[in-house]
A = this chain, B = another copy of it.
């Protein structure tokens, strides 16, 4: 538990990244029970002693895995130079699909399960970390999108946070939790396109100012 939470730069060497990759693979395949120090060492062809030298602790390894994965799925801030209602709608749908696909990713699901399992334990920090790296990051992307839409006179809302909350809820609903509980994520992934369109249409009926923006 010596790793700083505010470590902004990855600071992981090539070898350590490979180890973290192996660890993530192991976690995805077998859940937390399969993520033993001996198992990670064996899968990554390294020694347990090196694991403890690099990450200090098992919790340090878990934190490193979250930080590592978050640094890999960096959300790109897509262009905010659109002005038409159609452009905004398309960007929102794209955001919705990206969000759903990120949440349905097997690594994301495994890490969320891991953090939730550790949440009861005191000093979890993993949950906060996952939220800071995950939700806050992707929420920032949505924030600039919504703000740009409002500046362009296409959206109307008072509190950006509340508007994003509604957008997120319409897109995801309880789907994330159902996937975390074990429902087949691949089966419902085929519906993501339709779901994204539907959620964005509803959101625009709530906060859109353009009259024709609600109907496709």
Is A171 within 8 A of B174, CB to CB? no
Q: In the complex, which residues of chain B have a beta carbon less than 8 angstroms from the beta carbon of A183?
A: 127-128, 131
Is A165 within 8 A of B176, CB to CB? no
Interface size band for A: 35 or more
> Smallest CB–CB gap between A122 and chain B, Å?
9
Is A177 within 8 A of B176, CB to CB? yes
Cα A2 to Cα B124 in complex, Å, equals 34
Task: Check A168 for interface membership: any CB of B closer than 8 A.
Answer: yes
Known: A130-B181, A205-B206; 17 extra A-B contacts, CB below 8 A, are A31-B119, A32-B117, A112-B177, A113-B120, A115-B181, A116-B116, A116-B181, A117-B117, A119-B180, A124-B182, A127-B183, A135-B178, A169-B169, A169-B170, A169-B199, A202-B206, A206-B206
Binding site for B on A (CB under 8 A): 30-33, 110, 112-113, 115-117, 119-121, 124, 127-128, 130-131, 135, 162, 165-166, 168-174, 176-178, 180-183, 198-199, 202, 205-206
> 3 tightest CB-CB pairs across the interface, nearest first?
A31-B120, A127-B181, A169-B169
